[in-house]
Amino acid sequence: MPSNDIQTQTRLAPDALGPTITIGEILVEIMANSRGNGFLEPIELMGPYPSGAPAIFIDQCARIGGAAGIIASVGNDDFGRINVGRLRADGADVSAISESEDYPTGSAFVRYREDGSRDFVFNIAKSAAAQVSLTSEAKALIARSGHLHVMGTAFAIPGAWEIIDHAIGVIKERGGSISFDPNLRKELLGQPQTRERFARLVEIADLILPSGEELFVAAGVDGEAAAIQALFARNATEIALKRGERGSSFFAADGSRIDCPAFKVVEVDPTGAGDCFGGAYVACRRLGMPANLALDYGNAAGARNVTVMGPMEGAGSRAQLDTFIATTARAIP
């Protein structure tokens, strides 16, 4: 493949410049074994599973072989330890995960309803996850980073913006790059400050990774073609659109497009699919892979993850994803 091919070219800083970092919530997830409504009687549960969108992203990023680190906060409890242990074991830099003495590790109880929707009992706002701050360890990690990945979920966490803002400046200054996954609850965009920060990320990101309607929210216009065009009018040179069971698509500023079909899998637990896609895609691009290959690894990472109970239990190493790709049928596009 020629190196000047748009599929290979990317504005994302190479892995060698320093790790991909992200900022935000680390949680444990407790899953109900049975479908039904909420948690109004004692039921069988499984957990704690390491979780939190930024944690899932960075775990997959590290597992596939990308340099990766996370700025976050956990409690001084087993729920913090299971998360930090998992991330460390999978190769992520955990030096900037602080430990709160006062607050417990964040948690999310999840139960699927019969119709596939979910009931939650969250503890994030009053958990260690909300205590994240710009510590000296966070500054040190940012100072050696090559890429910042911002998850929309982090906008709900009070201290996260100060860190994101600092990281944007430092990482841009040293020639690093930025990606943005606009996965935040739409209600949050009702707040002027959040809307402004969201707009700033859309403005400066080199790569945007929306799912479904998030594309239109990010672009501020309806219709896929118009939305893509609107985003390329900003700083972005690359969009990776997550379509779930309909695969994914790559768009470049020069108008080129690649569609990558999904894998046919039996879905056990969809949580974390988009985060795994993102972790694999960003890592692959920063490792110099062409877009079609990055999409393929992204699709494989998301698909493999949904076959396993737990938000990041199915995150795959490169060898595991190679096996998965070789042995799994494609969905008809």
The one segment of 204-212, 238-246, 251-259, 305-313 that binds a second copy by CB under 8 A: 305-313
Phi-psi region of 150 (alpha: psi -120 to 50; beta: other; left: phi over 0): beta
Judged by CB under 8 A, the stretch of 102-110, 162-170, 253-261, 315-323 that binds a second copy is 102-110
Instruction: Determine which residue in the list 1, 16, 43, 233 makes contact with a second copy, applying CB under 8 A.
Output: 43
Shortest separation between residue 259's beta carbon and a second copy, angstroms:
36
Q: Which is nearer to a second copy, 52 or 182 (CB)?
A: 52
Closest to a second copy by CB, 48 vs 69, is 48
Site string for a second copy, 106-145 (x = CB under 8 A): -x-x---------x-xxx-xxx------------------
Q: Which secondary structure element, helix H or strand E, spans residue 319, and what is its range?
A: helix 318-327
- DSSP code for 93: B
Out of 1, 5, 16, 38, the only residue in the binding site for a second copy (CB under 8 A) is 38
Least Å distance between CB 36 and a second copy?
A: 11
**Which residues, at least 6 apart from 135, have a Cβ–Cβ distance to it below 8 Å?**
96, 98
Total number of residues shown for the chain? 333
Q: Which is nearer to a second copy, 21 or 28 (CB)?
A: 28
What letters, b where the CB count within 10 A reaches 16 and e where it falls short, cover 148-175?
bbbbbbbbbbebbbebbebbbebbeeee
Beta-carbon neighbour count of residue 90 at 10 Å? 20
Q: Please report whether residue 69 would count as binding a second copy according to CB under 8 A.
A: no
Q: Which one of residues 2, 3, 40, 187 is an interface residue with a second copy (CB under 8 A)?
A: 40
The one-letter code for the residue type at 69 is G
When binding is defined by CB under 8 A, the residue of 13, 21, 82, 293 that contacts a second copy is 82
SS3 state of residue 175: coil
Query: How many angstroms separate the CA atoms of 163 and 131, rounded?
Result: 12
Q: Which residues make Cβ contacts (< 8 Å) with residue 143, sequence separation at least 6?
A: 170
3-state secondary structure at position 238: strand
Nearer to a second copy, 32 or 150 (CB): 32
Stretch near a second copy under the rule CB under 8 A, chosen from 46-54, 150-158, 214-222, 233-241: 46-54
Residues that bind a second copy (CB under 8 A): 30, 38-49, 77-79, 81-82, 85, 102-104, 107, 109, 119, 121-123, 125-127, 309-310, 313
